[in-house]
Structure 1
Amino acid sequence: MSDPQSGVPVPGSGQLPDPTPIPADDQVLEPGQVPEEQKAPDAPRSRFDGVLREIMSGSIVISILAVVLALVVGGILIAITDENVAKAAGYFFSRPSDTFQAAWNAVSGAYSSLFQGSIYAVNRPGFAAGIKPFTDTLSFATPLIAAGLGVALSFRIGLFNIGGQGQMLVAAAAAGWVGFAFTIPFPLHLILALVVGIAAGAAWAGIVGALKAFTGAHEVIVTIMLNYVAYYLLAFLLRTPGLLQAPGSNNPKSPPEKESAIFPHLFGPSYNLNIGFIFAIIATIIVWYLLNRSSLGFKFRALGENPSATRVAGINVKAMYIVGMLISGALIGLAGAYQVQGSITTGFGSGIDAGIGFDAITVALLGRSRPVGVFIAGILFGALKAGGFTMQAVNGVPIEIVLVVQSLIVLFIAAPPLVRAVFRLPSPAVQQRVKRSKLSGRKAVVTK
């Protein structure tokens, strides 16, 4: 029994209350009607929309769109700096189409050269000659992948390894010294030089891990300072006779590597790609297994998420810092050893790192600190390096434009809200609210 005025059940009448949800915002509902915001949407469409929203708001799409946005801004810079565009802009108001046509020619020509210099040269006869630029891309990408894996691993632990330059220089010096100072048959000589280079990079990074673990020193400051130490130490060794300086030379340069310590080519001497790329693939697989399938990787990820909880769980945080930096330095040491064992037979100088130690940070960020992502990001940056030289030679585009594009990629990756705003993508917070709204709607229907 209920009150005829309000419809509220009278206590003791045995009548159950109406399960209809209370409407919001003074919405008038018929008996048994569910509010609009609690209605479950059409099942097929809701699943499709949910999957699409989840994909579009994911980190992978943000990384891809960051690259696209950087290329667009790079195209604008190419058009602005082109001489033909500047000439056509002088009479823009009389014939504006000439300016737009010149801008299109400049941008399309530059990016066409970038493609042909990094992926496939369509104007070369035969597939073997046309695919050579892609092997150059893989050759440039090899040290970026190895060093990027090392930086990404440290990121997963919660450490910022900014010392890739120093670790590469020390590894290159150690591998290079073994490469020209010893006479050992191939492939033992190659393996020994590679192992010594990797060990040197690991030891240099291990200093950072030990200082972090036992003194609490900030790894960013320590790694940056060790970069300077490694650079000037190598410069001293290259200027000192009897150490790394070539005999009878006054230049700060090492003796040439012996052939038995050089990585052999994968597809013959006409291509720059060597077995170092195979080592990069193996390193990617090992790091993936380490982080996703091993107990040590679980400890690394736990440490990166919450050091305090990791310590409470009984994990030796100090040991994890040291071991993590050792592995990170070993991967970067692989990149350093590649620099002297890859294709250099005339000796090396203090600039042997070629900025890869810092480019590896960008590669790790673009790859979201995931091994497969780092591998793909390394190939992308290798393509930018390989195609950038062709773009400069053919179209006269400054090579600095490529550096600007790389910097813009980092900028856009570091600011996901900016990328979402440009492409009008849903934010993760909106996605979570939509999921909670749908869930509450389903619960209301099931309850009814």
Structure 2
Amino acid sequence: MSARRPLPRWADVALLPAINLLLAFLVSGLVVLLVGENPLHAIQVIIYGAFGYGDGFGYTLYYTTNFIFTGLAVAVAAHAGLFNIGGDGQAYVAGLGAIVVALALDQTHWLIAMPLAILAAAAVGGFWAFIPGYLQAKRGSHVVITTIMFNFIGAALMVYMVNRVLKPASSMAPESDTIEMGGRVPQLREFSSFFGYSPVNLSIVIAVLALIGVYILIWHTKFGYAVRVLGANPTASRYAGISNSKMIMITMTISGALAGMVAINEVMGVQHRLVLDFVAGAGFVGIAVALMGRNHPIGILLASLLFGALYQGGQELQFVIPAITKEMIVVIQALVILFTGAMEGLFRPSLERSFMLFSPEQKSEAIERETAKTES
């Protein structure tokens, strides 16, 4: 009998991420100790900064919104056995679709501009992901390599578009015209003073709808079943009559469209114009979010909220404890990403062996060995 067995579902989705997160916080605590500060006080500051007052909570939700979109983008592709690490580029280029519609309709009403901008951003982001999907499906180019390259291509394209096409002649700053009120996504502070001056906006509603939509799509539709079959066994998928190349291209397009929703949050909800580097690495954080959330919408929601709290709480920590610099905050965030993302399987072998000791089969074998010893 093998010395290891697969973890129970609850241990895989809850216990293992919790252990990884605890280890990340322990190592982060050592970093705080190295500068002579109290780690427990630092944790209290992070929690208060992220959830303790309206402004802080609003900023946490603002970051969470971006991470939900990019986490879902990675997760949808992952269910098809694809590793889409081009979320940054897809979200960035999708800003073109959002700004064009927003500027064209900013004299109307956000109820008109927002849905059309969502479609435009989804179309551009989806197209930017479709190309690597096509190259993988039809030419055998690995999607990891092509999505990496398309991040750089997208960055270069956006520099050209912002500086040479969208920048007003009277402006020296690398940014587009400012969107008028009719083309902006309303911020939650317009409905409740609780959120203070935080930039969280109605894009968070789109994020929640995206979580629900992805859950239905992947687990309650024929298409979602085909996606999961492709991810589990491409050979069986082909034998079942599923067009793997078609599924790859469609799945990548959906993935890119989800990443493109970051542009709605940033361009129309926060910046109110198109600026350079507005994605700010959210696409790469989405990889850790998807891994930690086990590619499930509920897990992605919780992981996004965690990273949103770390981003906002980290800024509060830097303000309250000056000895903890911005670079140290980045290190702490990186440690969480490292242990919950890149090294998420670090404790899996040990946990599998531990659960094996308590399995009914193992107990039965132990009883049989004791009985044999007694009889002999």
State the TM bucket, normalised to the shorter chain. Answer: 0.7 to 0.9
Residue 124 of structure 1 corresponds to: none
Residue number among 357, 362, 383 corresponding to 2:288 in the alignment: 362
What pairs with 1:191-230 in structure 2 (closer than 5 Å)?
191-230=115-154
Q: Which amino acid aligns with 1:359?
A: V
Tell me if 1:146 matches 2:74: no
Shift of 1:410: 3.6
Q: Which amino acid aligns with 1:292?
A: W
Tell me if 1:188 matches 2:112: yes
Structure 1 distance, partners of 2:44, 2:212, is 33
Q: Which amino acid aligns with 1:419?
A: F
Q: Which amino acid aligns with 1:377?
A: A
Tell me if 1:384 matches 2:338: no
Q: Which amino acid aligns with 2:124?
A: A
Structure 2 distance, partners of 1:428, 1:301, is 28
Shift of 1:251: 2.6
TM-score by length of 2: 0.87
Residue number among 111, 116, 119 corresponding to 2:48 in the alignment: 116
Moved more, 320-329 or 248-257: 248-257
Tell me if 1:426 matches 2:354: no
Cα-to-partner distance string for 1:266-315 (whole Å, 9 max, x where unaligned): 34263432111111000000001111111111111111111111111111
Structure 2 distance, partners of 1:117, 1:350, is 28
Tell me if 1:258 matches 2:173: no
Shift of 1:416: 5.0
Tell me if 1:326 matches 2:253: yes
Structure 1 distance, partners of 2:334, 2:243, is 37
Shift of 1:403: 2.8
Shift of 1:160: 0.8
Q: Secondary structure at the match of 1:342?
A: helix
CA contact (8 A) 1:190 1:260 kept: no
Shift of 1:56: 7.5
CA contact (8 A) 2:86 2:150 kept: yes
Structure 2 distance, partners of 1:433, 1:113, is 40
Count of aligned pairs: 355
Tell me if 1:135 matches 2:67: no
Unaligned runs of 5+ in 2: 1-6, 369-376
Instruction: Compute the RMSD of aligned alpha carbons.
Output: 2.4
Residue number among 2, 14, 17 corresponding to 1:60 in the alignment: 14
CA contact (8 A) 1:109 1:395 kept: no
Shift of 1:265: 2.2
Q: Secondary structure at the match of 1:426?
A: helix
Distance 1:188 1:388, change over 3 A: same
Shift of 1:237: 1.0
Structure 2 distance, partners of 1:278, 1:161, is 24
Structure 2 distance, partners of 1:163, 1:147, is 10
Higher percent of residues as helix = 2
Cα-to-partner distance string for 1:180-210 (whole Å, 9 max, x where unaligned): 2444511112222222111110111111111
CA contact (8 A) 1:247 1:255 kept: no
Residue number among 24, 28, 33 corresponding to 1:79 in the alignment: 33
Q: Secondary structure at the match of 2:175?
A: coil
Distance 1:415 1:238, change over 3 A: closer
Identical aligned pairs, as a percentage? 32
Residue number among 100, 103, 107 corresponding to 1:177 in the alignment: 100
Shift of 1:395: 0.3
Shift of 1:221: 1.0
Residue 373 of structure 1 corresponds to: 299
Residue number among 272, 276, 279 corresponding to 2:206 in the alignment: 279
Shift of 1:336: 2.2
